[in-house]
Structure 1
Amino acid sequence: MKIGILAAGITPDVLQANYPTYAEMFAQQLTDIESRLEFEIYDVRLDEFPQSTTACDGWLITGSKCNSYDDDPWILRLCEFIREVDNNQQVLVGICFGHQIIARALGGTVTKSTAGWGVGVHHYQVTSEIPTLPGATDIAFCAFHQDQVIDKPAKLDVFLTSDFCEFAGFIYKDRILTFQGHPEFSKEYESELVELYDGVTLTPDVANKARHTIKEESIQNKQLMSWIAQFLKP
């Protein structure tokens, strides 16, 4: 099965020597879990779009430093592409920016949150079953965002929520799956981001709290990536 990765962002320049791009993180980790998956990467930030939604069997949209509520031409084109994928009943996965842009494209609202930055390891309440974490009522994985969905599309159901982020995970049947957090991020990579943005976009207090959660909390990223692989394969 061929999965198209719509790369909406890229690893910061200073980290590229030691870490793959966001699209490559998914391709590598998902291939390790499910070898039948094949990937093609499209850099949609540079207006590199597939000719048709039928170019791949399913789609995944990565995170990005861009705002999903902006009206840049490539963002509006991506919204239209998402609606076409949905109309064609293809599988679609969204991560962080991808989670937000899917919500926007399908009728939701995204904005910069008054709660500020969500960074480090975040805990979420599970409101419906996660196949790779049967019986789980609370899970944790890395987050790095300031924007949030504040009004959800009617067709999407919430499966993850928290006091910080009400709409942290969406699902629609066996076709759409989205996460506000980053199941592809290791704690090592999250730590690198915190150090990079401490004093830049993150206040020292936010950065220090993030460091503490990264050091002390366990994450279930491998189980969530396994679920994404299951979701994408036929």
Structure 2
Amino acid sequence: MPSLSTDPQRPQAGDPFRLAPTRPNEAGKTVTKYAVLVTGHAPEHIEAEFGDAGTLFKQLLEDEHENEAWHVFYPADGHMPTDDMLQGYKGIVVSGSRADSFATDPWNMQLRALLKTAFDRQQRILGICFGDQLMSITLGGKVGRSEAGFEGGARTLKTTPAFKQQWFAEAFPHGWEFKLHETHNDRIMEVPDAISVLAYSENTPVQMCCSGDHFLGLQGHPEITEEFMYKDLQERIETGALPKDVGEAALQSMRTNRVSPEERAAVQKLVKTFLKGDHPRGLKVFR
């Protein structure tokens, strides 16, 4: 049986899954399982310094003193989990990617089918950037190139009235505004009926969205640190992936509109509450 990795490294084509040892379970306590689906990679020198998306999301979301097991899959690298593997997880995190969410590569289409089944099973799904867009497509929405072009650096998000109605947002004030690191060319163009818009920005009408108790999506990257964002933007400028003026404007936004540690911690609290929390309005399937 394919195994899973809790210490993610960029896999090579044809590599089997590897099962890394998890912390011993305390007697009588159930281990709660979470899966991270890594759908793309940063350049190797950046991942060598900061880790890949599996590492970054574990750093953001894992509580070391809880009975948790975090497993990392790499769908875009040929390491696609089966539905039998996924159905035992309380929460599933779908990472960002430089790939197009609206592409029809076989792995993309297979991942959509897996996520739709997990959604119908009422598992919690947290989608980030590509993952947010992919889930929107899966639920009937449309994604395309943003007419505003590349959006990167630090961006200010404004929440909608629908945000405050969500159980996982109860600790946050009405009209909450916060900043988040962003790097994307695409956006949700048509919102499916099943999705509520929770936040927007000047150039992106759907910055955060949800569907009931089971899907939360963010266009930005709560897992990315300021240092990571700087190096990612600099790499894009140096390789010509971004025009210099566009890249410099994104870097300037990080100096003039900086994501504070307090804001990053607040967004971390928000996504952890959604992914892990139990609430009378949510089904306690995994308790």
Question: Secondary structure in 1 aligned to 2:223?
Answer: coil
Question: Secondary structure in 1 aligned to 2:183?
Answer: strand
Instruction: Please give the alpha-carbon distance, in whole angstroms, between the structure 1 residues aligned to 2:67 and 2:101.
Output: 31
The residue aligned with 2:147 is 114
Higher strand share: 1
Instruction: Please give the alpha-carbon distance, in whole angstroms, between the structure 2 residues aligned to 1:194 and 1:34.
Output: 35
Q: For 1:111-163, what per-residue CA distance to the aligned partner results, in whole angstroms no more than 9, with x for missing partners?
A: 11121100100111111223453335321110000011100111110001122
2:76 alignment partner, one of 29, 45, 63: 45
Instruction: Please give the alpha-carbon distance, in whole angstroms, between the structure 1 residues aligned to 2:213 and 2:221.
Output: 20
Instruction: Please give the alpha-carbon distance, in whole angstroms, between the structure 2 residues aligned to 1:198 and 1:69.
Output: 25
**Larger RCO: 1 or 2 (CA < 8 Å, sep 6+):** 1
1:20 alignment partner, one of 32, 51, 55: 51
1:30-179 → structure 2 map (5 Å cutoff): 30-32=61-63, 35-52=66-83, 53-127=86-160, 128-129=163-164, 130-131=169-170, 133-179=172-218
Moved more, 63-72 or 169-178: 169-178
* Larger gyration radius, structure 1 or structure 2: 2
Cα gap change, 1:39 to 1:109, in 2 (>3 Å): same
Question: Secondary structure in 2 aligned to 1:121?
Answer: strand
Percent of paired sites with the same residue: 24
The residue aligned with 1:4 is 35
The residue identity in structure 1 corresponding to 2:226 is K
Instruction: Please give the alpha-carbon distance, in whole angstroms, between the structure 2 residues aligned to 1:136 and 1:34.
Output: 33
TM-score normalised over the length of structure 1: 0.94
Alignment: residue pair count: 234
Cα gap change, 1:215 to 1:131, in 2 (>3 Å): farther
Cα gap change, 1:210 to 1:132, in 2 (>3 Å): farther
Question: Secondary structure in 2 aligned to 1:227?
Answer: helix
Cα gap change, 1:215 to 1:37, in 2 (>3 Å): farther
TM-score normalised over the length of structure 2: 0.77
The residue aligned with 2:22 is none
**Which segments of 5 or more consecutive residues in structure 1 lack a partner in the other structure?**
none
Displacement after TM superposition at 1:34 (Å): 7.2
Displacement after TM superposition at 1:49 (Å): 2.4
The residue aligned with 2:274 is 231
Instruction: Please give the alpha-carbon distance, in whole angstroms, between the structure 1 residues aligned to 2:192 and 2:68.
Output: 29
